A and B are shown apart, each in its own frame.
Chain A
């Protein structure tokens, strides 16, 4: 399977703390994307990192990619209760087909 797998499956932190989620995948990729899903809603794109990039930032989000280890991490700094959601990584190895992992459920306690 080309699916990314997130780790941990669940994470509970206090507001203000940083949250780190990891994604591992099996085959070579062109791009890796991170998505957020609030309960009962669709997935929302957060950030895309290409295979020739090592790190990307977007606001409080920082994504790293290590293609030698076939892994990526998503760091959310200074977390807020509104960050409570499930986070998924999506990997592509076949053009536009993206496969999603099972997600990390983040709970940020106020």
Chain B
């Protein structure tokens, strides 16, 4: 399996622009997670889907952030409008969705908002 695939790997955008990050989970996994990593705050869980349904979005920082999972093989995380403080590495991860299963991470999307 190719693992969790994220795109883009790197993005530099201007403040106010819309940013869309994409994720393809591992085939057969039914849980998907979006994490954000910064030096200051470490790894933060933003949102968690199970069987394509958002289960917990309490980690989403503001209304500017939204996430969707239209089908089992695709998810997006959108920031609109983007701000410099959104600069971070955004990780998508997936798991089999059963208690105690390993979470597999993508390589991350490195976002810089200038």
Q: Which residues of A contact B (CB under 8 A)?
A: 30-31, 33, 35, 41-45, 48, 50, 88, 90, 92, 94-103
Flag if A100 contacts B42 (CB, 8 Å).
yes
B13-21, B64-72, B76-84, B103-111: which one contacts chain A?
B103-111
What's the count of A-B pairs with C-beta under 8 Å? Answer: 58
Given A42-B106, A96-B95, A97-B56, is A31 in contact with B100 using a C-beta cutoff of 8 Å? yes
Q: Are B45 and A48 in contact (CB under 8 A)?
A: no
| Secondary structure type dominating chain B contacts | strand
- Which A residues are CB-close (under 8 A) to B33? 97-98
CB atoms of B104 and A97 under 8 A apart: no
Total contacting residues, chain B, CB less than 8 A: 25
Q: Is there an interface contact between B103 and A90, defined as CB atoms closer than 8 Å?
A: yes
**Bound-complex Cα distance A46 to B41 (A):** 23
Q: Is the CB of A42 within 8 A of B100?
A: no
Q: Is the CB of B108 within 8 A of A88?
A: no
Which residue of A30, A101, A102, A103 contacts B99 across the interface (Cβ within 8 Å)? A30
Given contacts A42-B91, A42-B106, A42-B107, contact A96 B101 (CB under 8 A): yes
Q: Does B48 lie at the interface of the complex (its beta carbon under 8 Å from any beta carbon of A)? A: yes
- 5 sampled A-B residue pairs with Cβ under 8 A: A92-B99, A95-B99, A98-B103, A100-B35, A101-B42
B87 within 8 A of A: no
- Residues of chain B touching chain A, judged by Cβ–Cβ distance below 8 Å, are 4, 31, 33, 35, 42-43, 45, 48, 50, 56, 91, 93, 95, 97-108
Partner of B103, one of A33, A50, A101, A102: A33
Does B108 contact A45, Cβ atoms closer than 8 Å?
no
Q: How far is the CA of A44 from the CA of B73 in the complex (A)?
A: 21
Chain A residues within 8 Å of B93, by CB: 43
Q: How far is the CA of A102 from the CA of B39 in the complex (A)?
A: 9
